Structure formats: structure tokens, C-alpha cells
Amino acid sequence: MKKEYKKMIIIQLVFLIIGILTVIIINTNLINFIPKCWINEKFGLLCTSCGGTRCVINFLQGNFIKAFKYHSVFFLIIIYILITDIVYIINTLTNKNIAKWLYPKPYYLIIWTVILAIYTIARNILIFVKI
């Protein structure tokens, strides 16, 4: 088997395992063991991943609008990963180079981090300021 196909299969298996674990944690009592946000408990503010669990739960249930409202950045990251994965599978199977700019690079992480930081500060301000 070609190296590229092996790499693709390994990546898909990793995503599959993560997906199965997520479904198991959500549908069992294991979700109660996810630690609570101390910033939320002490100060009533929202940290970077507050709402992330609810976003994933609603995404898996098909409530995409609710998932977007709970955590917009996580929702966009999930969509980005899905699209990139589909593009990667198509490129590997058809031996083409379609939209290779989507493939993750280290500076994409920096961009996502900055977006997440701005989003965190903005939604904390929005809660306590009447629009």
C-alpha cells in the first residue's frame, strides 16, 4: 500500500476514535467528570472553552444554530476540520492538489488562538453590557 494511503487511513482512524469517545462520553455519566470552569464559578465570566461541551453536544444532535450560539469559534473549528479532512481524502485518492492551502500549518494555530482570545473577551463584555 502506498505511504500516502497508509497515512490517510491512520488519520481517519484517529478521527474515528475521537468521534466514538466523544459520543460515549456525551451519552454516559462520564460527562459529569468533566471539570467545571473555576473562572465561571468564582467570577461569573466565561473562559476560552466555556460552552464548548454544549456546542459539541448540539452539533452531534444536529442543532447547528444552537451549537454556533454556545461557542462560535469551536463550531467554526469543527467545520474547518471536517472540510479539510474531506479535501485531504479527495486529494489523496485522486492524486490531485485541490485547495492545499486548507491544510493546517503552525501559523494557522496562532490565528485561531488570537481569534479565540478576542472572542472570549468580547462575549464577556457582551454579557454585562445591554445591547
Residues 66-125 binding other proteins (CB under 8 A) are 69-70, 105-107, 109-110, 113-114, 116-117, 120-121, 124
Nearer to other proteins, 34 or 82 (CB): 34
Minimum Å distance from CB 95 to other proteins? 27
- The Cα 38–Cα 16 span in angstroms is 31
Residues 20-59 binding other proteins (CB under 8 A) are 35-52, 54
- The Cα 23–Cα 19 span in angstroms is 6
Quick check: 79 and 88 in contact, CB under 8 A? no
Nearer to other proteins, 1 or 3 (CB): 3
Minimum Å distance from CB 40 to other proteins? 7
Tell me the site size for other proteins, rule CB under 8 A: 39
Minimum Å distance from CB 109 to other proteins? 4
DSSP-derived secondary structure letter, 27: H
Quick check: 50 and 37 in contact, CB under 8 A? yes
Q: What's the residue count for the chain?
A: 131
Residue 11 binds other proteins (CB under 8 A):
no
DSSP-derived secondary structure letter, 101: G
From residue 29, how far is each of 7, 25, 59 by CA, in Å?
Answer: 34, 7, 19
- Which residues contribute to the site for other proteins (CB under 8 A)? 35-52, 54, 69-70, 105-107, 109-110, 113-114, 116-117, 120-121, 124, 126-131
